[in-house]
A and B are shown apart, each in its own frame.
Chain A
Amino acid sequence: MDAIDKVRILVVGDSGVGKSSLVHLICHNEAAVNPGWTIGCSLEVKLHEYKEGTPDQKTFFLELWDIGGSSSHKNTRAMFYHNANGLILVHDLTNRKSHGNLKQWLNEILDQDKEMGMGRGPSRVRDTLDPENLLGSVKMPILVIGTKQDLAGEKRVQRSFVAEDLGVDDISLNCHNPRSLAPGSGLAVKLTRFFDRIIESRYYRDMNPNPALLEKRRLLPMNVMNAKSLHGD
């Protein structure tokens, strides 16, 4: 077991959007039965095959950190954010405000990440976000997931504008349907690609500089700056 490497993925979003159901679906391939409010952080692991079906196939552990979103626990959440390799932003398709709040979540995590990276300790001083520094912190891949698709009706087709700003992928699903992530379905493929990207950015980044990846990184400051200016309105 010690021989298998791991990556840490944070799952964040407002309280009640369905993060615990989502994580349970990803890891156990079945719908969660009545999860209660998450206090603190609920942890799940999944064995993932990186580059399945190719000669480079390797097994990794995905650690999914499902962080409870209630506002009363805000002051202790900071300790979960360091050393994260990937980020899943979850919002509720029936509640537009949970989508708008994703930007605040992202800023909360990026501020914390930047402070930890600068070695500033537990002080809460916030500088203006410098795009150069931001590039260093935003190296982790991000995925936006919309839940409760069965209750949302006609909104399911809309693409998430937060995902567009950040230039990342965006999927919508119904966490109570165990077949939405059946192997081979479109959603499962997107998810697998996302996990592979995380593993690449963590372990293979220096070894294989992918020109397409570099292109995306050069574009990233502009997209992130758009997100920052929209948030500042």
Chain B
Amino acid sequence: MSFLQDAVIMFSSQVIFFAGGWVFFMKQLFKNYEVHHIMVQLIFSITFALSCTMFELIIFEILGTMESSSRYFHWRLGLYSMLFMVIIVLPFYIAYFVLSSLRFVQRKQIGPLTLVSWVAFLYFFWKIGDPFPISSPKHGVLSIEQFISRIGVIGVTVMAFLSGFGAVNYPYTSMTYFMRPVTINDIIAIEKKLLHTYDMILIKKKRIAMAQRDQLLRSKSGSSGSGIWGMLRSVATNPLVSSGENISQLKEEVAALEDFSRQLLLEAVDMHSMRERIEWAKTFRGKYFNVMGYFFSLYCLWKIFICTINILFGRVARVDPVTRGIEIAVHYMGFQIDVKFWSQQISFFLVGCIVVTSIRGLLITLTKFFYAISSSKSSNVIVLALAQIMGMYFVSSVVLMRMNMPAEYRTIITQVLGELQFNFYHRWFDVIFLISALSSIGFLYLAHKQVPGDREIS
């Protein structure tokens, strides 16, 4: 009876998550596009609902809600469905939409070509596992560990890359130390330059239009003349040069001016954004973010340092932060606390925070990414690719979250996900985080250095 009850609870929460994903899709992602294929929306919402279910089950594990057998059952169900989506459904539909949008593929060929691409995807997906020490001979060929381990590699890479970049980017955008001063006169000056460039383009285009019209008129009147006078007239007037205008040279000049105008415009956009950031930094929220930025940059430096140490010395964290914190509180500060109770509460709080921030962070990043690169033709493919990344991301965050929980709650993850080499994933996360953070620092440094040089000249 209680199994039925638990099933009802799980099902209703899944419906809520599904509705959440649906609404997010309609209101945020596809704000400016019409939905032509309802399948895309369905797939996205299902992937989102399954990811949230996994997190929900971890929290239930900590709180001890529901029977452990039904939890185990729903875990396995959710995981299998997630694997089905990420490995079979999503790549298939991505291949289908990519092929439909290509111009040289005919309708009849789309079906078989999609199957071929999907098989190719499976092959490369399998091959990813080779260079990494993630499978042991204990695993069967088609066991769940094989798939999860490979998904884990991809997902952990994405996670570490985003964390590294985010950790460096956040202080850079919120601290006033990095903001370049832009006055309103600078903006007015560059707008004047831009409008002047546009005026010059217009003048040249008008000359081209006049020259083309003259050419047309002359060729019309020239053809009507016949005999000797016609021939003499056509020899005397060179069709390429009409009243001193050289059309091809004008067109080249116009192309150069247009390139220049595009550069100027991008600079103007940059200046406007910088000005908006400076205005925002003067508000309370801006000041708060500025202070947090200092703390965050310290945290980022510390994390880079720790990652390097971990990699160099092969250190592995055996104890999770919750138990470590409680140990410190009990042994060194002499607090008398009910370890079991507090460990449960704090784990719940910590895991809850991690889950909420990672979901929110990922959705915001996906939205920004989507707005930046999508157009009306490619929106379907991009949304499906983002759903794929989202699925892999959430599966690997479950894998990594195991480290943050005390031993008694880890059992369910270990039980369901099997005997994965968890330590490998933490090491891999550290490596990619380090690479991503250092390259972001490099890129931002270069980007920051480039602009003030121009400004000083102007």
Say yes or no: is B180 at the interface (Cβ < 8 Å to chain A): no
Known A75-B272, A75-B276, A76-B269; judge A39-B262 contact (CB<8 A).
yes
Count of CB-CB pairs between chains A and B under 8 Å: 75
Q: Judge whether B206 and A14 touch: CB under 8 Å.
A: no
Expressed in whole angstroms, the Cα–Cα distance for A170 and B371 within the complex equals 29
Least CB separation from B377: chain A residue: A16
Q: Judge whether A45 and B276 touch: CB under 8 Å.
A: no
Known A46-B209, A79-B191, A79-B195; judge A63-B376 contact (CB<8 A).
no
Q: Judge whether B375 and A15 touch: CB under 8 Å.
A: yes
Q: Sort chain B's interface into a size bin.
A: 35 or more
> What 1/0 mask marks residues of chain A from 110 to 138 whose CB sits below 8 Å from any chain B CB?
00000000000010000000000000000
Closest CB in chain B relative to A82 CB, distance in Å: 10
Name the contact of A43 in the complex, choosing from B205, B213, B377 (C-beta under 8 A).
B205
> What 1/0 mask marks residues of chain B from 266 to 279 whose CB sits below 8 Å from any chain A CB?
10110011001000
Interface residues of A in 54-91 (CB under 8 A from B): 61, 63, 71-73, 75-76, 79
Closest CB in chain B relative to A13 CB, distance in Å: 11
Q: Judge whether A47 and B269 touch: CB under 8 Å.
A: no
Expressed in whole angstroms, the Cα–Cα distance for A45 and B204 within the complex equals 10
Q: Judge whether A75 and B202 touch: CB under 8 Å.
A: no
Q: Judge whether B205 and A39 touch: CB under 8 Å.
A: no
Interface size on A, residues (CB 8 A): 32
Expressed in whole angstroms, the Cα–Cα distance for A79 and B202 within the complex equals 16
Known A95-B34, A122-B184; judge A41-B198 contact (CB<8 A).
yes
> What 1/0 mask marks residues of chain A from 139 to 181 whose CB sits below 8 Å from any chain B CB?
0000000000000000000000000000000000000000000
Residues of chain A touching chain B, judged by Cβ–Cβ distance below 8 Å, are 1, 4, 14-17, 37, 39-47, 61, 63, 71-73, 75-76, 79, 92, 94-98, 101, 122
**Beyond A4-B206, A41-B198, 6 additional pairs, beta carbon < 8 A:** A41-B265, A45-B202, A46-B209, A75-B269, A79-B195, A97-B31
Residues of chain B touching chain A, judged by Cβ–Cβ distance below 8 Å, are 31-34, 36, 184, 188, 191, 194-195, 198, 201-202, 205-207, 209-210, 213, 258, 261-262, 264-266, 268-269, 272-273, 276, 371-372, 375-377
11 contacts between A and B (CB under 8 A): A4-B206, A39-B266, A42-B258, A43-B198, A43-B201, A44-B205, A47-B209, A72-B269, A76-B191, A76-B269, A97-B32
Closest 7 CB pairs of A and B: A40-B265, A75-B272, A16-B376, A39-B262, A95-B34, A45-B205, A16-B375
